[in-house]
Structure 1
Amino acid sequence: MDLTYRAYTPADAADLVAFLTTDTWPFHGSPLVDPDRARQWIAEGRYCNDGNRTFWITAGGEDIGLVRLMDLGDSTPVFDLRIRTAHRGRGAGAHALDWLTRYLFTEFPGIRRIEGTTRRDNTAMRRTFLRCGYVKEAHYRDGWPSADGTAVHDAVGYAILRRDWLTGTTTLPAWDDEPA
């Protein structure tokens, strides 16, 4: 898949509102984003400020996705990845996760690890994490309430360590370390 990444700028605000509000995001806090809410997020600097950077994922001249990098002043940033429905299941998520991992570890030498969280039932993203060298580190029971408050889902956390990325290895957590 031939994907490119370009930085979001405030001049892209109308395109970002359209992107967020014309598709569904079933594994995000709000599966449907209201245009006023999207504009509020933009005005608050959620997509472009000292601690956040956002990039369009482009294929064939079309914006098919978005990567938002957060907590960039921390040694452990997190991210939001959104792929348009029509382009899901084609490898764009894995390409974007590899890209953002390389970008963060290359551009920010103080970053030790990158974290991502998804719902337990988002099996496609969970497989993508593993395929890209991320390791499951957490399982949060009833940790992800639905937007309408009618359901609660388990959430799972994954991370990659700089040292593992550099060496191409995977360091597993010590799961059996509970005190006797």
Structure 2
Amino acid sequence: MEITYRRFVPSEADDLVGFLTADRWPFHGAAVVGPDQARRWIADGRYCGDGNRAFWITRGDDTLGLIRLMDLGDETPVFDLRIGSPYRGLGVGSRALTWLTGYLFTEFPSIRRIEGTTRQDNVAMRRTFRRCGYVKEAHYREGWPTADGTVHNAVGYAILRRDWLTGTATAPEWNDEDAWA
């Protein structure tokens, strides 16, 4: 059965609270989301508000995950991708990242690049970024604090519109400090 992407609407707030609270999100700031926190996020417009959109990832009647797009008024939006634990490791993340990349570059002509960040130890997401044409651009030492006080390293990836259009991956110029040292 085909995976589809359906835009979240505010009348689905209870469904979103149920989705966020029913699973563990080990590579997010809070691995466990409580109902009050989820409702605050919804009320704050994180999923449907100025510069933000969310999409359900579905297959038939099953909800596989959620895509949250942020900073849609900028030339470089970012996103949050949550795949439900029964569907992790099945390629849903790669399909969702490919879809959201095409959606953003098609729907928003002013977007030049899309960025995503994950924890250094989230190997599955790092592989997904690379598989989908994203290039590692940054390593943030102790850049990802979690609710329990642990601080992890984070890694930033991005895709350029021109690379998406041509199917290439342009690597950053890592050794540029010699030019001005």
Q: Give 5+ residue unaligned stretches, structure 1.
A: none
TM-score (norm 1): 0.98
Mapped partners of 1:162, 1:82: distance in 2:
24
Equivalent residue, structure 2, for 1:8:
8
Secondary structure of 1:136's counterpart equals strand
Which letter maps to 1:158? Y
The answer on 1:169 being equivalent to 2:155 is no
The answer on 1:107 being equivalent to 2:107 is yes
Equivalent residue, structure 2, for 1:69:
69
Mapped partners of 1:37, 1:51: distance in 2:
20
- 1:92-103 alignment, distance < 5 Å: 92-103=92-103
Which letter maps to 1:43? A
Mapped partners of 1:115, 1:43: distance in 2:
25
Please identify runs of 4+ aligned residues in structure 1 that moved more than 2 A. Answer: none
Once the 2 structures are TM-superposed, how far is the Cα of residue 60 of structure 1 from its aligned partner? 2.4
- 1:11-26 alignment, distance < 5 Å: 11-26=11-26
Mapped partners of 2:72, 2:78: distance in 1:
8
Tell me which moved more, 38-47 or 118-127: 38-47
Once the 2 structures are TM-superposed, how far is the Cα of residue 2 of structure 1 from its aligned partner? 2.2
Once the 2 structures are TM-superposed, how far is the Cα of residue 50 of structure 1 from its aligned partner? 2.5
Once the 2 structures are TM-superposed, how far is the Cα of residue 49 of structure 1 from its aligned partner? 1.1
- Could you tell me the percent identity over the aligned residues? 72
Q: Deviations over 1:87-124 (max 9, x none)?
A: 00000000000000000000000000000000000000
Equivalent residue, structure 2, for 1:155:
154
